[in-house]
Amino acid sequence: MSHLLRRPKIDQGKIHDISPSTANWKYVGFGVYNLKKGDKVHEETKSNEAIIVVIEGKIELEVDGFPTFGVLGDRMDVFEKKPPYSLYIPPNHEWQGLAETDCVVGICLAPGKNGRKPKVIGPNDVIQLERGKGSNLRKINNIAMEDQDEADSLLVTEVFTPQGNWSSYPPHRHDVDDYPNITYLEETYYHRLNPPQGFGFQRVFTDDGELDETICVKNHDVVLVPKGHHPCGTPFGYEMYYLNVMAGPIRKWRFANSPDHEWLYDFDPDK
């Protein structure tokens, strides 16, 4: 199995717990809770900021020292594709969650500062857009990207790829700290498939071929992208969702295209 692939080791509870030390990088942490109604969770952000994304279901969230944020979430199935509810939490805070229904929540982590307060990022704060054309078309929910002042380090977005389509494509990379030309951003992909027995593919490769892995992803898998290009594809009959978490030295998303495939930006499948 690829060293970039993380499969859940349990079905319920905290099914993913990825830290910079386990990922062998510096900035991004990521966790996933798959909870039954009535389950409780509790964590400390420590030196990290966190964005809790309610991927599906409903959960009551509280942060120490602040009034309850109540029950968040109205997307009972991620493939409803509605923009989600999320909660930003600054460093050095404890938070608690109580599952109001069966739910799945993503815990996005990166180094933070102390100048922000906890804040709900609601569906109306999410920027929805479509990108690409033809079999490269996909739907995007930007939760906390560069032009949204929601965090100090974290960049968070969701992507829905229709059956038979590609996304994170044409291939691009963000693995060099050379702003404004390109930025260094570590990235995780949390994958879901619809129907859930499906599969998809993600290739992670560098221009020099030093890294070149093609990974078969299944429902609830996470792929680590420490460097290189990282396109995804899903076969006929299966929709793909992924939650992206990125962070690096600066909160800017600048990337370089794969020279071999840059021509695709001008390709029109209808001509």
Q: Average pLDDT for residues 26-49, to the nearest whole number?
A: 98
- Residue 130: the pLDDT is 97
Query: pLDDT band at residue 114, thresholds of 50, 70 and 90?
Result: confident
Beta bridge partners of 127: 142
Q: Average pLDDT for residues 23-45, to the nearest whole number?
A: 98
Between 77 and 115, name the one with better pLDDT.
77
Domains defined for the chain, CATH in brackets: 5-266 (2.60.120.10)
What's the CA gap between 143 and 23, in Å, rounded? Answer: 23
pTM above 0.85, yes or no: yes
First-to-final CA distance of the chain: 41
DSSP character for 168?
S
Strands 182-184 and 103-111: unpaired
Cβ proximity of 202 and 190 under 8 Å: no
Rounded to 10 degrees, what is the CA torsion of 138, 202, 14, 125?
-20
Residue type at 192 in one-letter notation: R
Cβ proximity of 200 and 235 under 8 Å: yes
Across the chain, what does the average pLDDT equal?
97
Report helix, strand or coil for 185.
coil
Torsions phi, psi for 238 (to 5 deg):
-130, 120
What percent of the chain has a predicted confidence (pLDDT) above 90?
96
Q: Average pLDDT for residues 236-250, to the nearest whole number?
A: 98
- For the stretch 137-169, pLDDT in tens is 999 999 999 999 999 999 999 999 999 999 999
- Residue 184: the pLDDT is 98
Q: Average pLDDT for residues 19-26, to the nearest whole number?
A: 98
Kindly state the tokens that stand for 75: 């997307």
| In the predicted structure, residue 239 carries a pLDDT above the cut 80 | yes
| In the predicted structure, residue 270 carries a pLDDT above the cut 90 | no
Burial (CB count within 10 angstroms: exposed 0-12, middle 13-18, buried 19+), residue 237:
exposed
| In the predicted structure, residue 121 carries a pLDDT above the cut 80 | yes
| In the predicted structure, residue 59 carries a pLDDT above the cut 90 | yes
- Residue 124: the pLDDT is 98
Of 134, 141, 165, 132, residue with least CA distance to 237: 165
Torsions phi, psi for 211 (to 5 deg):
-120, 125
What's the CA gap between 190 and 211, in Å, rounded? Answer: 21
Kindly state the tokens that stand for 78: 């991620």
